[in-house]
Structure 1
Amino acid sequence: MSADVSSLSQINRDEILQLLTLLRDKLPPLRDLTAEERRSLSGMGDKNRSFAGKVLEVILQDPEFLPRSFDVNQYQRDLATFDDLSTIALALTRLLDLVNATATAIGSEVYDDALSAYRYAKASGQGASLEAMMTEMKQRFAQQGKKKDKEAEKSKVKE
Protein backbone atom coordinates (compact mmCIF):
# COMPACT_ATOMS: atom_id res chain seq x y z
CA MET A 1 0.00 0.00 0.00
CA SER A 2 2.79 2.45 0.86
CA ALA A 3 4.06 2.51 -2.73
CA ASP A 4 0.67 3.87 -3.83
CA VAL A 5 0.78 6.71 -1.29
CA SER A 6 3.54 8.52 -3.16
CA SER A 7 1.36 8.64 -6.29
CA LEU A 8 -0.77 11.34 -4.67
CA SER A 9 1.49 14.32 -5.05
CA GLN A 10 0.73 17.73 -3.58
CA ILE A 11 -0.06 18.94 -7.11
CA ASN A 12 -2.54 16.08 -7.67
CA ARG A 13 -4.12 16.70 -4.27
CA ASP A 14 -4.56 20.39 -5.04
CA GLU A 15 -5.98 19.62 -8.49
CA ILE A 16 -8.46 17.13 -7.01
CA LEU A 17 -9.63 19.73 -4.49
CA GLN A 18 -10.02 22.27 -7.31
CA LEU A 19 -12.04 19.74 -9.31
CA LEU A 20 -14.29 19.15 -6.32
CA THR A 21 -14.88 22.90 -6.11
CA LEU A 22 -15.66 22.92 -9.83
CA LEU A 23 -18.11 20.03 -9.35
CA ARG A 24 -19.84 21.90 -6.57
CA ASP A 25 -20.09 25.01 -8.77
CA LYS A 26 -21.61 22.95 -11.61
CA LEU A 27 -24.34 21.49 -9.43
CA PRO A 28 -27.61 23.30 -8.84
CA PRO A 29 -27.70 25.27 -5.59
CA LEU A 30 -27.18 22.71 -2.84
CA ARG A 31 -29.08 22.82 0.43
CA ASP A 32 -27.88 21.93 3.89
CA LEU A 33 -30.61 20.43 6.05
CA THR A 34 -30.73 20.09 9.80
CA ALA A 35 -31.61 16.73 11.30
CA GLU A 36 -35.05 18.09 12.20
CA GLU A 37 -35.62 19.31 8.64
CA ARG A 38 -34.61 15.90 7.27
CA ARG A 39 -37.10 14.15 9.56
CA SER A 40 -39.91 16.45 8.47
CA LEU A 41 -39.39 15.84 4.74
CA SER A 42 -41.04 13.09 2.72
CA GLY A 43 -38.59 10.43 1.61
CA MET A 44 -37.96 9.69 -2.06
CA GLY A 45 -36.84 6.08 -2.13
CA ASP A 46 -37.22 3.73 -5.08
CA LYS A 47 -40.94 3.12 -4.53
CA ASN A 48 -41.75 6.80 -4.13
CA ARG A 49 -39.65 7.62 -7.19
CA SER A 50 -41.62 5.08 -9.21
CA PHE A 51 -44.86 6.58 -7.88
CA ALA A 52 -43.73 10.10 -8.84
CA GLY A 53 -42.93 8.89 -12.36
CA LYS A 54 -46.33 7.26 -12.75
CA VAL A 55 -48.01 10.44 -11.53
CA LEU A 56 -46.10 12.39 -14.18
CA GLU A 57 -47.37 10.00 -16.86
CA VAL A 58 -50.95 10.54 -15.68
CA ILE A 59 -50.46 14.31 -15.57
CA LEU A 60 -49.04 14.40 -19.09
CA GLN A 61 -51.95 12.34 -20.45
CA ASP A 62 -54.61 14.59 -18.95
CA PRO A 63 -53.45 17.65 -16.99
CA GLU A 64 -56.98 19.12 -16.83
CA PHE A 65 -57.72 17.65 -13.39
CA LEU A 66 -54.94 19.71 -11.78
CA PRO A 67 -55.52 23.16 -10.34
CA ARG A 68 -53.97 26.00 -12.33
CA SER A 69 -51.52 26.65 -9.52
CA PHE A 70 -49.85 23.25 -10.12
CA ASP A 71 -46.78 23.88 -12.31
CA VAL A 72 -46.38 20.76 -14.45
CA ASN A 73 -43.16 22.02 -16.03
CA GLN A 74 -41.63 22.65 -12.61
CA TYR A 75 -42.70 19.17 -11.49
CA GLN A 76 -40.97 17.65 -14.55
CA ARG A 77 -37.81 19.71 -13.94
CA ASP A 78 -37.74 18.75 -10.26
CA LEU A 79 -38.16 15.06 -11.05
CA ALA A 80 -35.41 15.20 -13.69
CA THR A 81 -33.12 17.07 -11.30
CA PHE A 82 -33.80 14.47 -8.60
CA ASP A 83 -32.85 11.69 -11.03
CA ASP A 84 -29.69 13.52 -12.10
CA LEU A 85 -28.64 14.24 -8.51
CA SER A 86 -29.32 10.63 -7.53
CA THR A 87 -27.03 9.39 -10.30
CA ILE A 88 -24.32 11.85 -9.25
CA ALA A 89 -24.78 10.97 -5.56
CA LEU A 90 -24.34 7.27 -6.32
CA ALA A 91 -21.11 7.90 -8.24
CA LEU A 92 -19.80 10.19 -5.49
CA THR A 93 -20.73 7.66 -2.80
CA ARG A 94 -18.84 4.92 -4.61
CA LEU A 95 -15.81 7.20 -4.97
CA LEU A 96 -16.02 8.31 -1.33
CA ASP A 97 -16.23 4.68 -0.18
CA LEU A 98 -13.03 3.89 -2.11
CA VAL A 99 -11.25 6.98 -0.76
CA ASN A 100 -12.30 6.14 2.82
CA ALA A 101 -11.28 2.48 2.47
CA THR A 102 -7.90 3.46 1.04
CA ALA A 103 -7.33 6.08 3.76
CA THR A 104 -8.27 3.51 6.42
CA ALA A 105 -5.86 0.92 5.01
CA ILE A 106 -3.02 3.43 4.67
CA GLY A 107 -3.74 4.87 8.11
CA SER A 108 -3.59 1.40 9.62
CA GLU A 109 -0.29 0.72 7.91
CA VAL A 110 1.15 4.03 9.10
CA TYR A 111 -0.02 3.43 12.66
CA ASP A 112 1.40 -0.11 12.69
CA ASP A 113 4.72 1.25 11.40
CA ALA A 114 4.64 3.99 14.05
CA LEU A 115 4.08 1.37 16.78
CA SER A 116 7.00 -0.68 15.47
CA ALA A 117 9.29 2.34 15.34
CA TYR A 118 8.16 3.33 18.84
CA ARG A 119 8.98 -0.12 20.19
CA TYR A 120 12.40 -0.09 18.49
CA ALA A 121 13.17 3.34 19.92
CA LYS A 122 11.99 2.23 23.35
CA ALA A 123 14.05 -0.97 23.21
CA SER A 124 17.20 0.75 21.94
CA GLY A 125 17.32 3.17 24.88
CA GLN A 126 19.81 5.25 22.93
CA GLY A 127 20.85 8.44 24.65
CA ALA A 128 19.08 11.29 26.32
CA SER A 129 18.05 12.81 22.99
CA LEU A 130 15.29 10.22 22.65
CA GLU A 131 14.09 10.46 26.25
CA ALA A 132 12.01 13.62 25.83
CA MET A 133 10.33 12.27 22.71
CA MET A 134 9.80 8.86 24.27
CA THR A 135 8.16 10.44 27.33
CA GLU A 136 5.83 12.39 25.08
CA MET A 137 4.98 9.31 23.00
CA LYS A 138 4.34 7.18 26.11
CA GLN A 139 1.49 9.52 27.01
CA ARG A 140 -0.39 8.15 24.01
CA PHE A 141 -0.74 4.85 25.86
CA ALA A 142 -1.09 6.20 29.42
CA GLN A 143 -4.87 5.73 29.56
CA GLN A 144 -4.85 2.17 28.25
CA GLY A 145 -3.53 0.76 31.48
CA LYS A 146 -0.49 -1.38 32.10
CA LYS A 147 -2.16 -4.67 31.18
CA LYS A 148 -3.17 -3.55 27.68
CA ASP A 149 0.25 -1.94 27.12
CA LYS A 150 2.04 -5.17 28.10
CA GLU A 151 -0.22 -7.30 25.90
CA ALA A 152 0.28 -5.01 22.90
CA GLU A 153 4.02 -4.91 23.50
CA LYS A 154 4.26 -8.72 23.76
CA SER A 155 2.29 -9.30 20.57
CA LYS A 156 4.26 -6.72 18.58
CA VAL A 157 7.70 -7.80 19.85
CA LYS A 158 7.03 -11.32 18.52
CA GLU A 159 6.96 -9.92 14.97
Structure 2
Amino acid sequence: MNKSTNGNGTSNGNSTSQTILPSFPSDASSPTSAEHLSQNDRDTILNLITQINDFLPFLRDLSAEERKSMLGMGNKNRIFAGKVLEVIQQKSDFLPRSFDTEKFQQDLATFDRLSTILMALNQLRDLVDATTIAIGTEAYENALTAYRHAKASGQGASLESMMAEMAQRFARKPKQKDDEKPEIKE
Protein backbone atom coordinates (compact mmCIF):
# COMPACT_ATOMS: atom_id res chain seq x y z
CA MET A 1 0.00 0.00 0.00
CA ASN A 2 1.31 3.43 -0.88
CA LYS A 3 -0.42 5.33 1.88
CA SER A 4 2.01 6.16 4.66
CA THR A 5 2.98 9.07 6.82
CA ASN A 6 6.23 10.40 8.07
CA GLY A 7 6.96 11.13 11.72
CA ASN A 8 5.02 14.41 11.82
CA GLY A 9 1.82 12.88 10.48
CA THR A 10 1.97 14.27 6.96
CA SER A 11 1.99 12.16 3.87
CA ASN A 12 5.39 11.05 2.61
CA GLY A 13 4.45 11.76 -0.97
CA ASN A 14 3.49 8.21 -1.94
CA SER A 15 -0.20 9.04 -1.74
CA THR A 16 -2.26 11.59 -3.60
CA SER A 17 -3.98 12.84 -0.46
CA GLN A 18 -2.24 14.54 2.41
CA THR A 19 -3.08 13.68 6.00
CA ILE A 20 -2.44 16.26 8.67
CA LEU A 21 -2.71 15.15 12.26
CA PRO A 22 -3.75 17.77 14.80
CA SER A 23 -1.45 18.64 17.63
CA PHE A 24 -3.00 18.33 21.06
CA PRO A 25 -1.56 20.01 24.14
CA SER A 26 0.16 17.41 26.30
CA ASP A 27 -0.11 18.86 29.79
CA ALA A 28 -2.83 17.52 32.09
CA SER A 29 -4.31 21.00 32.65
CA SER A 30 -5.11 21.41 28.96
CA PRO A 31 -8.70 21.41 27.78
CA THR A 32 -8.09 18.08 26.02
CA SER A 33 -7.02 16.32 29.20
CA ALA A 34 -8.97 13.32 30.48
CA GLU A 35 -11.09 15.65 32.59
CA HIS A 36 -12.51 17.45 29.57
CA LEU A 37 -13.04 16.49 25.97
CA SER A 38 -14.57 19.19 23.80
CA GLN A 39 -17.04 18.40 21.05
CA ASN A 40 -14.45 19.65 18.55
CA ASP A 41 -11.79 17.29 19.96
CA ARG A 42 -14.25 14.39 19.82
CA ASP A 43 -15.05 15.19 16.19
CA THR A 44 -11.34 15.43 15.35
CA ILE A 45 -10.66 12.05 16.96
CA LEU A 46 -13.57 10.43 15.10
CA ASN A 47 -12.21 11.96 11.87
CA LEU A 48 -8.79 10.46 12.61
CA ILE A 49 -10.40 7.06 13.17
CA THR A 50 -12.06 7.41 9.77
CA GLN A 51 -8.66 8.26 8.28
CA ILE A 52 -7.17 5.14 9.86
CA ASN A 53 -9.96 3.07 8.30
CA ASP A 54 -9.16 4.69 4.95
CA PHE A 55 -5.51 3.62 5.31
CA LEU A 56 -6.63 0.02 5.80
CA PRO A 57 -9.08 -0.66 2.95
CA PHE A 58 -8.39 -4.41 3.12
CA LEU A 59 -9.80 -4.87 6.64
CA ARG A 60 -12.33 -7.68 6.88
CA ASP A 61 -15.33 -8.34 9.07
CA LEU A 62 -15.66 -11.97 10.13
CA SER A 63 -18.69 -13.69 11.57
CA ALA A 64 -18.34 -15.85 14.66
CA GLU A 65 -18.63 -18.95 12.47
CA GLU A 66 -15.91 -17.72 10.13
CA ARG A 67 -13.62 -17.02 13.08
CA LYS A 68 -14.14 -20.54 14.44
CA SER A 69 -13.33 -22.12 11.09
CA MET A 70 -10.04 -20.25 10.62
CA LEU A 71 -6.64 -21.41 11.76
CA GLY A 72 -5.23 -19.15 14.44
CA MET A 73 -1.91 -17.32 14.16
CA GLY A 74 -0.74 -17.14 17.75
CA ASN A 75 2.87 -16.73 18.82
CA LYS A 76 3.83 -20.37 18.25
CA ASN A 77 2.24 -20.47 14.80
CA ARG A 78 3.91 -17.18 13.87
CA ILE A 79 7.32 -18.58 14.83
CA PHE A 80 6.57 -21.71 12.81
CA ALA A 81 5.50 -19.68 9.76
CA GLY A 82 8.68 -17.59 10.02
CA LYS A 83 10.84 -20.72 10.09
CA VAL A 84 9.00 -22.08 7.03
CA LEU A 85 9.68 -18.81 5.21
CA GLU A 86 13.39 -19.08 6.06
CA VAL A 87 13.48 -22.60 4.60
CA ILE A 88 11.64 -21.48 1.45
CA GLN A 89 14.03 -18.56 0.97
CA GLN A 90 17.00 -20.93 1.12
CA LYS A 91 15.57 -23.64 -1.11
CA SER A 92 12.15 -23.55 -2.70
CA ASP A 93 12.39 -26.14 -5.47
CA PHE A 94 10.21 -28.57 -3.48
CA LEU A 95 7.19 -26.22 -3.70
CA PRO A 96 4.56 -26.50 -6.40
CA ARG A 97 4.68 -23.74 -9.03
CA SER A 98 1.31 -22.48 -7.83
CA PHE A 99 2.76 -21.59 -4.40
CA ASP A 100 3.19 -17.81 -4.23
CA THR A 101 6.24 -17.24 -2.03
CA GLU A 102 6.04 -13.47 -2.42
CA LYS A 103 2.41 -13.40 -1.24
CA PHE A 104 3.31 -15.66 1.71
CA GLN A 105 6.11 -13.27 2.69
CA GLN A 106 3.81 -10.24 2.27
CA ASP A 107 1.09 -11.89 4.38
CA LEU A 108 3.55 -12.51 7.22
CA ALA A 109 4.87 -8.95 7.07
CA THR A 110 1.33 -7.54 7.00
CA PHE A 111 0.34 -9.79 9.91
CA ASP A 112 3.29 -8.47 11.95
CA ARG A 113 2.45 -4.84 11.15
CA LEU A 114 -1.25 -5.31 11.90
CA SER A 115 -0.38 -7.06 15.18
CA THR A 116 1.61 -4.01 16.26
CA ILE A 117 -1.30 -1.73 15.33
CA LEU A 118 -3.75 -4.01 17.14
CA MET A 119 -1.66 -3.91 20.30
CA ALA A 120 -1.59 -0.09 20.25
CA LEU A 121 -5.34 0.08 19.56
CA ASN A 122 -6.10 -2.36 22.39
CA GLN A 123 -4.02 -0.29 24.81
CA LEU A 124 -5.84 2.87 23.69
CA ARG A 125 -9.22 1.14 23.92
CA ASP A 126 -8.45 -0.04 27.47
CA LEU A 127 -7.46 3.51 28.50
CA VAL A 128 -10.58 5.03 26.91
CA ASP A 129 -12.74 2.38 28.60
CA ALA A 130 -11.18 2.91 32.05
CA THR A 131 -11.38 6.69 31.72
CA THR A 132 -15.02 6.52 30.60
CA ILE A 133 -15.86 4.40 33.65
CA ALA A 134 -13.98 6.73 36.02
CA ILE A 135 -15.47 9.94 34.61
CA GLY A 136 -18.94 8.38 34.44
CA THR A 137 -18.63 7.40 38.10
CA GLU A 138 -17.57 10.93 39.04
CA ALA A 139 -20.49 12.42 37.11
CA TYR A 140 -22.98 10.01 38.70
CA GLU A 141 -21.59 10.70 42.20
CA ASN A 142 -22.00 14.44 41.56
CA ALA A 143 -25.56 13.86 40.34
CA LEU A 144 -26.38 11.91 43.52
CA THR A 145 -24.87 14.64 45.70
CA ALA A 146 -26.87 17.35 43.93
CA TYR A 147 -30.04 15.22 44.09
CA ARG A 148 -29.65 14.65 47.86
CA HIS A 149 -29.12 18.38 48.44
CA ALA A 150 -32.10 19.31 46.28
CA LYS A 151 -34.26 16.76 48.08
CA ALA A 152 -33.16 18.01 51.51
CA SER A 153 -33.50 21.69 50.65
CA GLY A 154 -37.28 21.66 50.68
CA GLN A 155 -37.53 24.33 47.99
CA GLY A 156 -41.20 23.58 47.59
CA ALA A 157 -43.18 23.59 44.37
CA SER A 158 -40.33 24.95 42.27
CA LEU A 159 -38.42 21.65 42.50
CA GLU A 160 -41.22 19.20 43.33
CA SER A 161 -42.08 18.08 39.80
CA MET A 162 -38.42 17.69 38.85
CA MET A 163 -37.66 15.84 42.09
CA ALA A 164 -40.58 13.46 41.50
CA GLU A 165 -39.28 12.73 38.01
CA MET A 166 -35.74 12.11 39.29
CA ALA A 167 -37.06 9.94 42.13
CA GLN A 168 -38.37 7.48 39.52
CA ARG A 169 -34.76 6.37 39.07
CA PHE A 170 -34.85 4.90 42.57
CA ALA A 171 -38.42 3.58 42.52
CA ARG A 172 -38.68 -0.14 43.12
CA LYS A 173 -41.13 -2.33 41.35
CA PRO A 174 -43.28 -4.32 43.74
CA LYS A 175 -42.57 -8.04 43.73
CA GLN A 176 -45.27 -10.28 42.34
CA LYS A 177 -46.80 -12.74 44.74
CA ASP A 178 -46.83 -16.39 43.72
CA ASP A 179 -50.57 -16.33 43.07
CA GLU A 180 -50.17 -13.29 40.78
CA LYS A 181 -47.77 -14.92 38.32
CA PRO A 182 -48.82 -14.31 34.73
CA GLU A 183 -50.09 -17.23 32.71
CA ILE A 184 -47.77 -18.69 30.14
CA LYS A 185 -49.56 -19.35 26.87
CA GLU A 186 -48.38 -22.26 24.81
Task: Return the TM-score normalized by structure 2.
Answer: 0.72
Q: Aligned pair 1:129/2:163, yes or no? A: no
Structure 1 position 6, deviation (Å): 5.6
Gap regions ≥5 residues in structure 2? 1-27, 175-186
For 2:173 and 2:136, locate their aligned partners in 1 and report how far apart those are by CA, in whole Å.
Answer: 20
Q: Could you say what secondary structure the match of 1:64 adopts?
A: coil
Change over 3 Å in CA distance of 1:5–1:51 after alignment to 2: closer
The question of whether the paired residues in 1 share the 8 Å contact of 2:34 and 2:131 is answered with: no
Map 1:99-114 to 2 at 5 A: 99-114=128-143
Aligned to 1:65: 94
1:15-34 Cα shifts (integer Å, max 9, x gaps): 11111111111124111111
For 1:143 and 1:54, locate their aligned partners in 2 and report how far apart those are by CA, in whole Å.
Answer: 63
Paired residues in the alignment total: 145
| The structure with more helix, counted as a fraction of residues | 1
The question of whether the paired residues in 1 share the 8 Å contact of 2:85 and 2:105 is answered with: yes
2:171 to 142, 155, 158: 142
Map 1:28-107 to 2 at 5 A: 28-107=57-136
Gap regions ≥5 residues in structure 1? 146-159
1:6-65 Cα shifts (integer Å, max 9, x gaps): 642222111111111111111241111111111111111111111110111111111111
Aligned to 1:22: 51
Q: Answer 1 or 2: higher relative contact order, Cα 8 Å, separation at least 6.
A: 1
For 1:125 and 1:132, locate their aligned partners in 2 and report how far apart those are by CA, in whole Å.
Answer: 12
CA RMSD of aligned residues (A): 2.1
Structure 1 position 91, deviation (Å): 0.7
For 1:111 and 1:60, locate their aligned partners in 2 and report how far apart those are by CA, in whole Å.
Answer: 60
For 1:56 and 1:29, locate their aligned partners in 2 and report how far apart those are by CA, in whole Å.
Answer: 23
For 1:64 and 1:86, locate their aligned partners in 2 and report how far apart those are by CA, in whole Å.
Answer: 31
Aligned to 2:15: none
Q: Could you say what secondary structure the match of 1:77 adopts?
A: helix
Structure 1 position 143, deviation (Å): 3.3
Q: Could you say what secondary structure the match of 1:106 adopts?
A: helix
The question of whether the paired residues in 1 share the 8 Å contact of 2:151 and 2:163 is answered with: yes
Higher mean displacement: 94-103 or 78-87: 94-103
Structure 1 position 125, deviation (Å): 2.3
Question: Percent identity of the aligned residues?
Answer: 64
